[in-house]
Amino acid sequence: MIPTVEQEPLCEERVYGMRPSSIVPNISVFNGVVITLTIPFVGAMVDYSPWRRSLGYYSAAVVVFTNFLQIFVSAETWFLICIVQVPCFMAYYSHLLCVYAYIPELTDDADEMAAVMGPAKAVEVISILIFFGLIAVSGATICPSLEEDFYGKAVCEARVAQTLSCIVGVGFFYQSWKLFSERPAVQSLPGGETVEGKSLTKASSMLCGQAFRQIWGTLCELQTDFPMTARFLIAYAFWESASNAILTLSTTYIRLVLKIDSIVVIGAILLVTNIIGALLTGKFGPKLGMRRVIMGCLLADCLVCVLLMSMLRGPDDQMWAYVLMLPLGLVMGSMYTAQRAHYAVFIPGGREAELMGFFMFAGQVISWAPMLVFSVINEATNDMSLAFPILVVFYVIAAVIFSTVDHQKNHECIEPTLNRRVRASRRYAGGGASDGAAGG
């Protein structure tokens, strides 16, 4: 007889008023809300100031420092380490926003963008795999005496991982940001004001006010002048919130319900299949069409969620967890490449930095919602399998909205603006940023 969640109930004890299975999701809810409020301000810094590169440097430094603090994780400090996750994630998403603002400058061609993003994702994941290998070897070398004590060994390996993260992060962040060049402010503040020469307090006040005015103004403008861009971003908000949640919820589910102590193999499967999915999309996506790739990924995500709920019911189903990570990883790698490459065709010329920031904002604005719904249901039922139907609802909403995006209408709206795109002078005659502004 196959064990079920009801036959092997999860822990009924509570920590700080929560079930243990709700702690990680609740941290994600809090992080999601904080990041949603932070991204507009960071986006305003990228768009209305010449500080994009400096912000990248400083956010990278905060990421390294907060990871350094996590070296001291223990049974006594775990709650403080949970609190440290907030500035860590704020810095991380600020850093991503600075990096993403450079992406549309790579090329104006959607097919070429897909060909670039696929291998780039593959290199990223290969680097993560190598890093995982370093952690595994280092952990086995430094923590062998704790083999019989799983939690003691896990803490030791976590400390080793965080130490390596700091060492590697310092070197790579420093070298990477040497390769990025400065960018001038893309837009002026109302009245032609700039933040240059202003005190930090004054500049922050100006940017904070402009940040939320810009969010509202951009929403209204997109809905009026570029409605297909707005529709794409709404669909993206739903599927990205589900995709962010599926990793957290599935790994927590696997450990607590299936009783798989280590998720190293699960992580390795996801990373390898991410590479394969990204490379396949980079190669075949332009031929199939990124719209078809994204719609296929959304439908595949729904199917995987249904299979996760129906096939993973207890410790006897551990093998199916490894099997189901294969399609999940492929879909994640494909979607990552397709959504970024496809979004490039929805960005009006001259609005690259602003709308890449808006892309990140859309990806976070409801990222907390699936986790919050799950946490409420989990607190009431103590049944973690109910997480997966929640995710299906978000994927279905995204698919319905995305199916209404008219790509021909989008092309008609975007085409007149492409001569204003950075580096667009290679393909479009006329204005645009100067070579100096475009970067070195």
More confident residue, 421 or 165: 165
CA dist 413 and 351 (Å) reads 14
CA dist 269 and 304 (Å) reads 15
Q: Kind and range of the H or E element at 157?
A: helix 150-179
CA dist 114 and 417 (Å) reads 21
pLDDT, average across residues 158-171:
88
- Cα atoms in the Cβ-side hemisphere of radius 13 Å centred on 293: 29
pLDDT, average across residues 110-123:
72
Q: Find residue 18's DSSP bridge partners.
A: 15
**Confidence grade of residue 383 (pLDDT, cut at 50, 70, 90):** confident
The residues near 97 (Cβ < 8 Å, ≥ 6 apart) are 39, 42, 43, 46, 356, 357, 360
Contact indicator for 48, 279 with CB cutoff of 8 Å: no
CA dist 397 and 424 (Å) reads 35
Return the percent helix, strand and coil in the chain, to nearest 5: 80, 0, 20
C-alpha dihedral sign at 297, 299, 301, 303:
negative
More confident residue, 294 or 336: 294
**Confidence grade of residue 11 (pLDDT, cut at 50, 70, 90):** low
The residues near 371 (Cβ < 8 Å, ≥ 6 apart) are 25, 26, 28, 29, 32, 245, 248, 249
pLDDT, average across residues 103-112:
70
Q: What percent of the chain has pLDDT over 90?
A: 16
On the 0-12 / 13-18 / 19+ scale of CB atoms within 10 A, 106 is middle
Closest CA to 247 of 272, 266, 275: 266
Residues in the chain: 440
Q: Report the predicted TM-score, pTM, of the whole model to 2 decimal places.
A: 0.72
Helix-helix angle 227-256:264-288, to 10 degrees:
160
